[in-house]
Amino acid sequence: MDLDLEDLIDIIESDDATDPLDRVSAAAALKDQMEGLGDELLDHFVKDARDQGCSWNQIGEALGVTRQAAQQRHGGRLLGRFVEGLRAGKFQRFTPRARAAVIAAQTVARERGHDAIGTEHVLLALYDAGEHNLGLVTLDRLGVDRGALATFVDTAHPPTDATVRGHIRFGRDAKTALEQTLAAAIELGHNYIGCEHILIGVAAVDDGLGARALAAQDVTVDGVRTAVEVVVREAMGGPPPT
């Protein structure tokens, strides 16, 4: 497709619209369409590379960006349908405890008078999803202190006296964490989404309050991922890695 600026101008001017503002709108729509098509093209081949076993590290190198940047940008769009399913209440791939954790995140936010769910609420909600969920087992294995987590969160994002009613939306960081949750399950080769994957998703959002609370206890996303692999293997009855 060999198009230049003049060709694009001709496309807009060949339309019936003669009003200059209509042409601005048409140009904006064409720009969005072209950008969207370009994103879909790249996402198609990123997905193809993932399906053929390429890692996010390799894809990041091909794109000239870091693994995390590639996974957050393209993984997020590839997994966009997951967020839409989340909004619609479709959690078929979630374990019961993982569903409970996502639902509990809204309660955690509401109890603190917050009108949006952040990664910190998702992280704390893991403690309300059943004491034996693998997210909590992983946190315990990493030596994370629940009280210190809550204190860090409440200091960085203090509770308010506001009464929050109705549905509480997921904030940008929380949506990204949920996208990374599904990405983690896929990357680990698991056919379900559990609390352990939610924990990885939270830790993967570097600038999220959840990851910062974990970092305050010297817990990184790589450390979480490694611990999850061990915990899952043990839960399935296999030997821990040597």
Residue 171 neighbours by CB distance under 10 Å: 21
Query: What is the signed CA dihedral for 140, 185, 120, 43, rounded to 10 degrees?
Result: 150
Closest to 89 (Cα-Cα) out of 73, 74, 102, 76: 102
Give the integer Cα–Cα distance in Å for 137 and 109.
23
Return the higher-pLDDT residue of 62 and 21: 62
Q: pLDDT for 74-91, tens place per residue? A: 655 555 555 454 445 444
Q: pLDDT for 104-138, tens place per residue? A: 898 999 999 998 999 999 999 999 988 789 999 99
Give the integer Cα–Cα distance in Å for 107 and 90.
19
For the chain, give the percent of residues with pLDDT over 70. Answer: 79
pLDDT band for position 149 (cuts 50, 70, 90): very high
pLDDT of 235 above 50: yes
Compute and round to an integer the Cα radius of gyration of the chain. Answer: 21
DSSP annotation of 52: T
Residue type, 13: E
| Gap between the terminal Cα atoms of the chain | 53
Tokens, residue 183: 């990405």
Q: Give Cα separations from 202 to 5, 58, 91 (angstroms).
A: 43, 23, 18
Give the integer Cα–Cα distance in Å for 110 and 12.
49
Assess contact for 160 and 116: CB atoms under 8 A.
no
Give the integer Cα–Cα distance in Å for 48 and 155.
44
Residue type, 48: D
| pTM beyond 0.75, yes or no | no
pLDDT of 236 above 70: yes
